Amino acid sequence: MFTFTSNILKNFLSQRATRRYPFETRSPFDGARGMLLNHIEKCNLCSICAVKCPSQCITVDRKASTWECDPFACVYCGICVDACPESALYQKPEYRQVAEKREMISLKGEIKKKVKKETDNGIESE
């Protein structure tokens, strides 16, 4: 019983080993994958990010023109960012702020129409 006394006294008299998170945070590491964000103006709502997402936290509804992400389910792996053909998704090197309740990231965009162009020989191409 008295074998731990020296450890207990040392821990009480020394500096804390942990931070008082969220009041004290450390800066992110180089190359850290943090908050997932979307430039909805660039997004064509193709839903490739939703298909590639391993945690299935992204939902794309083409009819309603909405893009939705559940940050509590996201594992911040960056696969959706790499798969996005328009480079609309990106990750900040900062971690997401602490939240007391579950909030979804919902964005409303526009489906971009493909423009048909006429070529010199009269054949239309996209």
SS (H, E, C) 44-106: CCCCHHHHHCCCCCEEEECCCCEEEECCCCCCCCCHHHHHCCCCCEEECCCCCCCCCCCCCEE
26 within some domain:
no
Which pLDDT band, with edges at 50, 70 and 90, does 3 fall under?
Answer: confident
Is the confidence at residue 118, as pLDDT, over 90? Answer: no
For 15-32, the pLDDT digits (tens) are: 888 888 878 888 888 888
Is the confidence at residue 125, as pLDDT, over 70? Answer: no
91 within some domain:
yes
CATH number for position 39: 3.30.70.3270
Is the confidence at residue 72, as pLDDT, over 70? Answer: yes
55 within some domain:
yes
15 within some domain:
no
72 within some domain:
yes
Domain count, the chain: 1
Is the confidence at residue 63, as pLDDT, over 90? Answer: yes
Question: Which range of residues forms the domain containing residue 98?
Answer: 34-111
Q: Across the chain, what does the average pLDDT equal? A: 87
126 within some domain:
no
